[in-house]
Amino acid sequence: MIIALRGYGTFIYAGTVAKDTYEYFEDEDIYLQEYAEYLDDPESSNLQIPKEHDFVDGGCLYDVDNLWCISGAELTSYCILSVDLENGDDDWECDLDLDTLEELGIKTTCISSSIRMINDLPSGTAVFMARETTEGLQFEENMIISSSSDFDPTKLELYYHEYMDTSIVKYIKYDGREYFGSNSEWDAKDKEFKWYLRD
Protein backbone atom coordinates (compact mmCIF):
# COMPACT_ATOMS: atom_id res chain seq x y z
CA MET A 1 0.00 0.00 0.00
CA ILE A 2 1.26 3.45 -0.97
CA ILE A 3 -0.08 6.65 0.58
CA ALA A 4 0.70 9.96 -1.13
CA LEU A 5 -0.19 13.62 -0.63
CA ARG A 6 -0.09 15.72 -3.82
CA GLY A 7 -0.86 19.32 -4.66
CA TYR A 8 0.00 22.52 -2.85
CA GLY A 9 2.21 22.60 0.20
CA THR A 10 4.21 24.96 2.36
CA PHE A 11 7.89 25.09 3.24
CA ILE A 12 8.68 27.24 6.27
CA TYR A 13 11.85 28.00 8.18
CA ALA A 14 12.62 30.50 10.90
CA GLY A 15 15.32 31.45 13.36
CA THR A 16 16.32 34.04 15.90
CA VAL A 17 18.49 37.00 14.90
CA ALA A 18 20.27 39.58 17.06
CA LYS A 19 17.90 42.43 17.93
CA ASP A 20 20.40 45.10 16.83
CA THR A 21 20.56 43.41 13.40
CA TYR A 22 16.77 43.51 13.13
CA GLU A 23 16.87 47.20 14.09
CA TYR A 24 19.58 47.87 11.47
CA PHE A 25 17.44 46.38 8.70
CA GLU A 26 14.43 48.38 9.87
CA ASP A 27 16.33 51.66 10.28
CA GLU A 28 17.97 51.31 6.86
CA ASP A 29 14.70 50.25 5.17
CA ILE A 30 16.29 47.05 3.88
CA TYR A 31 13.67 44.53 2.81
CA LEU A 32 14.40 40.87 3.43
CA GLN A 33 13.64 40.14 -0.24
CA GLU A 34 16.48 42.54 -1.15
CA TYR A 35 18.74 40.75 1.27
CA ALA A 36 17.82 37.38 -0.26
CA GLU A 37 18.72 38.68 -3.73
CA TYR A 38 21.97 40.07 -2.35
CA LEU A 39 22.87 36.67 -0.93
CA ASP A 40 22.12 35.00 -4.29
CA ASP A 41 24.39 37.38 -6.21
CA PRO A 42 26.28 39.86 -3.99
CA GLU A 43 28.44 41.16 -6.83
CA SER A 44 25.46 42.53 -8.78
CA SER A 45 23.70 43.98 -5.73
CA ASN A 46 23.93 47.56 -4.51
CA LEU A 47 23.41 46.46 -0.93
CA GLN A 48 26.27 46.82 1.50
CA ILE A 49 25.59 44.95 4.72
CA PRO A 50 28.06 45.44 7.59
CA LYS A 51 29.59 42.12 8.60
CA GLU A 52 28.09 42.31 12.08
CA HIS A 53 24.59 42.48 10.56
CA ASP A 54 25.08 39.96 7.73
CA PHE A 55 23.25 37.37 9.81
CA VAL A 56 23.78 34.38 7.50
CA ASP A 57 27.55 35.09 7.44
CA GLY A 58 28.32 33.68 4.01
CA GLY A 59 25.64 31.02 4.12
CA CYS A 60 22.05 31.19 2.92
CA LEU A 61 18.69 32.02 4.49
CA TYR A 62 17.83 28.31 4.74
CA ASP A 63 20.51 28.11 7.45
CA VAL A 64 18.48 30.38 9.74
CA ASP A 65 16.22 27.65 11.07
CA ASN A 66 16.91 27.16 14.76
CA LEU A 67 13.18 27.61 15.51
CA TRP A 68 11.62 25.47 12.80
CA CYS A 69 12.18 24.01 9.33
CA ILE A 70 9.09 22.20 8.06
CA SER A 71 7.80 21.16 4.66
CA GLY A 72 4.58 19.38 3.87
CA ALA A 73 1.14 19.26 2.32
CA GLU A 74 -1.45 21.82 3.33
CA LEU A 75 -4.69 20.59 4.84
CA THR A 76 -6.85 22.16 2.11
CA SER A 77 -8.88 21.09 -0.91
CA TYR A 78 -5.89 22.08 -3.06
CA CYS A 79 -4.19 18.87 -1.97
CA ILE A 80 -5.19 15.26 -2.66
CA LEU A 81 -4.69 12.21 -0.46
CA SER A 82 -4.33 9.11 -2.63
CA VAL A 83 -3.92 5.45 -1.75
CA ASP A 84 -2.52 2.84 -4.16
CA LEU A 85 -3.59 -0.58 -2.88
CA GLU A 86 -1.13 -2.38 -5.22
CA ASN A 87 -3.54 -5.30 -5.52
CA GLY A 88 -5.35 -4.42 -8.74
CA ASP A 89 -8.22 -2.64 -7.01
CA ASP A 90 -9.04 0.97 -7.89
CA ASP A 91 -7.02 3.63 -6.10
CA TRP A 92 -8.70 5.53 -3.26
CA GLU A 93 -8.46 9.31 -2.95
CA CYS A 94 -10.00 12.34 -1.29
CA ASP A 95 -9.45 16.05 -0.81
CA LEU A 96 -7.25 17.02 2.10
CA ASP A 97 -9.48 19.68 3.62
CA LEU A 98 -10.41 19.26 7.28
CA ASP A 99 -14.17 18.88 6.73
CA THR A 100 -13.71 16.06 4.22
CA LEU A 101 -11.19 14.27 6.44
CA GLU A 102 -13.54 14.50 9.43
CA GLU A 103 -16.46 13.10 7.41
CA LEU A 104 -14.30 10.12 6.40
CA GLY A 105 -13.18 9.45 9.96
CA ILE A 106 -9.56 10.45 9.34
CA LYS A 107 -8.10 11.89 12.53
CA THR A 108 -6.07 15.13 12.42
CA THR A 109 -3.95 16.36 15.32
CA CYS A 110 -2.00 19.60 15.75
CA ILE A 111 1.31 18.70 17.39
CA SER A 112 3.18 22.03 17.12
CA SER A 113 2.50 25.69 16.44
CA SER A 114 4.68 28.57 15.25
CA ILE A 115 2.68 31.04 17.34
CA ARG A 116 3.19 29.01 20.51
CA MET A 117 6.91 28.67 19.78
CA ILE A 118 7.25 32.43 19.28
CA ASN A 119 5.27 33.16 22.44
CA ASP A 120 7.71 30.99 24.39
CA LEU A 121 10.62 33.26 23.38
CA PRO A 122 11.92 35.99 25.71
CA SER A 123 10.55 39.48 25.18
CA GLY A 124 12.61 41.48 22.68
CA THR A 125 13.67 38.46 20.60
CA ALA A 126 13.86 39.16 16.85
CA VAL A 127 12.74 36.38 14.53
CA PHE A 128 13.37 35.91 10.81
CA MET A 129 10.60 33.91 9.12
CA ALA A 130 10.33 32.53 5.60
CA ARG A 131 7.50 30.82 3.77
CA GLU A 132 7.54 29.20 0.33
CA THR A 133 4.48 27.93 -1.51
CA THR A 134 5.22 24.59 -3.14
CA GLU A 135 3.47 22.37 -5.68
CA GLY A 136 3.96 18.70 -6.46
CA LEU A 137 4.40 15.46 -4.54
CA GLN A 138 4.46 16.57 -0.90
CA PHE A 139 4.60 13.16 0.79
CA GLU A 140 4.84 9.55 -0.30
CA GLU A 141 5.24 6.43 1.77
CA ASN A 142 5.46 3.13 -0.11
CA MET A 143 6.10 0.83 2.83
CA ILE A 144 2.71 1.00 4.56
CA ILE A 145 2.20 -2.08 6.70
CA SER A 146 -1.38 -3.09 7.42
CA SER A 147 -3.23 -6.04 8.85
CA SER A 148 -5.56 -5.89 5.82
CA SER A 149 -5.06 -5.41 2.08
CA ASP A 150 -8.00 -2.99 2.05
CA PHE A 151 -7.64 0.69 2.98
CA ASP A 152 -9.59 1.83 6.02
CA PRO A 153 -9.64 5.64 6.35
CA THR A 154 -10.50 5.40 10.05
CA LYS A 155 -7.06 3.84 10.65
CA LEU A 156 -5.31 6.89 9.16
CA GLU A 157 -4.11 9.81 11.30
CA LEU A 158 -2.48 13.04 10.09
CA TYR A 159 -0.24 15.07 12.40
CA TYR A 160 0.36 18.70 11.48
CA HIS A 161 2.14 21.92 12.37
CA GLU A 162 0.12 25.12 12.59
CA TYR A 163 1.74 28.11 10.89
CA MET A 164 -0.37 31.27 11.11
CA ASP A 165 -3.40 30.35 8.94
CA THR A 166 -1.89 27.17 7.44
CA SER A 167 -1.83 23.56 8.65
CA ILE A 168 1.20 21.62 7.35
CA VAL A 169 1.31 17.82 7.52
CA LYS A 170 4.47 16.62 9.31
CA TYR A 171 3.84 12.86 9.35
CA ILE A 172 1.08 10.26 9.26
CA LYS A 173 0.11 7.19 11.20
CA TYR A 174 -1.68 4.21 9.72
CA ASP A 175 -2.89 1.19 11.67
CA GLY A 176 -0.83 2.36 14.65
CA ARG A 177 2.49 2.84 12.79
CA GLU A 178 4.16 6.20 12.15
CA TYR A 179 5.43 7.18 8.69
CA PHE A 180 7.47 10.27 7.84
CA GLY A 181 7.51 9.81 4.06
CA SER A 182 10.17 8.18 1.91
CA ASN A 183 9.78 10.51 -1.05
CA SER A 184 8.74 14.03 -2.06
CA GLU A 185 9.26 16.09 -5.21
CA TRP A 186 7.97 19.64 -5.47
CA ASP A 187 8.75 23.06 -6.94
CA ALA A 188 8.74 26.34 -5.00
CA LYS A 189 6.31 28.88 -6.46
CA ASP A 190 6.42 31.93 -4.20
CA LYS A 191 8.69 33.11 -1.38
CA GLU A 192 7.81 35.42 1.48
CA PHE A 193 10.19 36.75 4.13
CA LYS A 194 9.35 38.78 7.19
CA TRP A 195 10.50 39.90 10.63
CA TYR A 196 8.75 39.38 13.91
CA LEU A 197 9.76 41.09 17.15
CA ARG A 198 8.52 39.38 20.29
CA ASP A 199 6.78 41.94 22.52
Contact 153, 81 (CB under 8 A): no
In a domain, 47, yes or no: no
On the 0-12 / 13-18 / 19+ scale of CB atoms within 10 A, 97 is middle
- Residue 24, in any domain of the structure: no
Structural domain span for residue 14: 2-19+60-197
The answer as to whether 183 is a domain residue is yes
Counted residue by residue, the chain has a size of 199
Strands 92-95 and 126-141: unpaired
Residue 77 neighbours by CB distance under 10 Å? 15
Quick count: other Cβ atoms within 10 Å of Cβ 132?
18
Which amino acid is present at 56?
V
What pLDDT, on a 0 to 100 scale, did the predictor assign at position 89? 67
Helix residue spans in the chain (DSSP H): 19-27, 32-40, 98-103, 114-119
Number of folded domains that form the chain: 1
* Maximum CA extent, the chain: 63
Phi/psi of residue 101, nearest 5 degrees: -60, -40
CA dihedral 71, 31, 123, 113 (to 10 degrees): -20
Looking at residue 48, its pLDDT comes to 87
What residues contact residue 70 under an 8 Å CB cut-off, 6+ apart?
10, 11, 12, 13, 161, 163, 168, 170
pTM metric for this prediction? 0.90
Q: Does some domain include residue 48?
A: no
Which residue type occupies 131? R
Q: Is there a domain that residue 39 lies in?
A: no
Along the 199 residues of the chain, how does pLDDT read in single tens digits? 899 999 999 999 999 999 999 999 999 999 999 999 888 888 888 888 899 999 997 788 999 999 999 999 999 999 999 999 876 666 899 999 999 999 999 999 999 999 999 999 999 999 999 999 999 999 999 888 877 778 899 999 999 999 998 999 999 999 999 999 988 999 988 999 999 999 8
